[in-house]
Amino acid sequence: MPVPTFATMGTIVSLRLAEAATALGDTARADAAQLVETVFRRWDEQFSLYRADSELSRVARGELRLTDASASLRNCYALALDWRDRTQGVFTPHRADGVIDLSGVVKALAIAEAGGALRLSGLTNWSINAGGDVLVGGVPGDRYDETEPADHATPTGHRGTAPAAVSVHAEWVVAIVDPDDRGDVIARVPLRHPLRAVATSGSAERGEHIWTERNEPSPFRQVSVFAADIVTADVLATAIVAGGAETLADMTARFAIDVLAVLHDGQLLATSGLRRAD
């Protein structure tokens, strides 16, 4: 079956529905894709700093006081601040110039809401891939291609492959690409319960774009975090890249996650739960 895709938040989002074709018609599939796209569009319209008309851009320009912003924006900011505290300041919602930038949580929140909307609509077997950040529900059906085009809407214009959900036996599996060769895969990892989400962060696609108070280059070229929810996975992937080996040790000790990290020399570091990954 065709995989619906759309561009948003500077990347490509794809939706895979594993319900059998006989059980889910074309109209229902189109409706599901539209549902997911609507969720992402709303988050992007409110929080993108690349949109002059977004609510967060108005806050950044000083046209709207944070205390007068919508409850959803203030709640999102509070969540980001909570993660700043939980990562000892390594993850931060503030740019170096002081502007509030919630991109570190917004895409993950959009993925999580889209997954919840699919479940409420009666769909239980699916995967959402937003530029390589993947959340899955239920179990796969038909076998899918192992990689898919992604990130060709980024400012760099690079066309490459991102982690893509595939079906092997009765589990969703993600393919983690090689940061030095976007056409190659360094691991295939089943998204077994309870770790049903994976997010990848690093400099391979967009260059050095993760800021940290230490202003030191990260030892990691790429970090993939597997977690029970996509927000935890996304935040901690960013935090580990920014904080380095010390943050990797701290986060894996305090959170129920698995991590696959790629050092700049190509060496792989994997937590015990990933040692059986292909």
Name the pLDDT band for 159 (thresholds 50, 70, 90). very low
Taking the C-alpha atoms of residue 224 and residue 233, their distance in angstroms, rounded to an integer, is 8
Taking the C-alpha atoms of residue 107 and residue 9, their distance in angstroms, rounded to an integer, is 8
**Average pLDDT along the chain:** 86
| Residue 79, token pair as written in the block | 């969540």
In sequence order, the β-bridge partners of residue 173 are: 166, 190
Taking the C-alpha atoms of residue 222 and residue 82, their distance in angstroms, rounded to an integer, is 24
- In this prediction, what percent of the chain has a pLDDT beyond 70? 81
pLDDT of residue 57: 98
pLDDT above 80: residue 212: no
pLDDT of residue 170: 74
pLDDT of residue 261: 97
pLDDT of residue 168: 44
| Cβ contact 176:184 at 8 Å | no
- Span 164-178, mean pLDDT? 75
pLDDT above 90: residue 54: yes
256: CB partners within 8 A, 6+ apart: 194, 195, 227, 228
| Cβ contact 105:83 at 8 Å | yes
Which DSSP state fits 55? H
Point out the least confidently predicted range of 30-44, 103-117, 164-178, 208-222.
208-222
Distance, CA of 99 to chain centre: 22
Taking the C-alpha atoms of residue 27 and residue 177, their distance in angstroms, rounded to an integer, is 33
Give tens-digit pLDDT for 1-38. Answer: 678 999 999 999 999 998 655 577 888 899 999 999 99
Name the pLDDT band for 153 (thresholds 50, 70, 90). very low
pLDDT of residue 142: 53
Taking the C-alpha atoms of residue 166 and residue 172, their distance in angstroms, rounded to an integer, is 6
Strands (E), the chain: 5-8, 11-17, 126-130, 133-137, 147-150, 160-163, 165-168, 171-178, 181-190, 197-202, 220-227, 258-263, 268-270
pLDDT of residue 26: 83
- Span 165-187, mean pLDDT? 82
pLDDT of residue 165: 56
Which of 197, 235, 237, 234 is closest to 221 using CA atoms?
A: 237
Name the pLDDT band for 182 (thresholds 50, 70, 90). confident
In sequence order, the β-bridge partners of residue 150 are: 160
